[in-house]
């Protein structure tokens, strides 16, 4: 189980996402209007935004956070670690 400290530290990485990275990570190919609304929800309340996500989106974020925290990167298109 993750501690609350580990969780909040992980959220810091999410907070570093810009809108373009946010779209690439979670909504690649989505219409800009939809992404704009999701981005606003994310900016207003990251925790509430996370509660609204499907399990596949949460899994993507989890993989991305683990790689970011260890200094590695996720290929957003393949959802695999870049070499």
State the distance between the two ends of the chain, measured CA to CA, in whole angstroms.
28
Residue 83 pLDDT: 56
**pLDDT value, residue 64:** 81
The whole model's pTM is what?
0.75
Residue 37 domain boundaries: 4-81
- pLDDT level of residue 73 (50, 70, 90 thresholds): low
> What is the per-residue pLDDT across 11-58, written as a single tens digit (0 to 9) for each?
787 888 899 989 998 999 999 999 999 999 999 998 899 999 999 999
Report pLDDT for 38.
96
State the total domains in the chain.
1
Instruction: Copy the structure tokens of residue 2.
Output: 């993750």
Count of CB atoms within 10 A of residue 12's CB? 11
Q: Which two tokens stand for residue 32?
A: 């800009």
Q: 77 or 22: which carries more pLDDT confidence?
A: 22
């Amino acid at each position: 189980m993750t501690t609350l400290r580990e969780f909040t530290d992980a959220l810091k990485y999410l907070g570093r996402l810009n809108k373009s990275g946010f779209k690439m990570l979670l909504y690649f190919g989505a219409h800009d209007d939809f992404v704009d609304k999701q981005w606003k929800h994310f900016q207003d309340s990251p925790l509430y935004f996370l509660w609204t996500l499907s399990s596949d989106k949460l899994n993507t974020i989890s993989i991305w956070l683990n790689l970011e925290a260890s200094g590695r990167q996720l290929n957003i298109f393949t959802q695999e670690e870049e070499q």
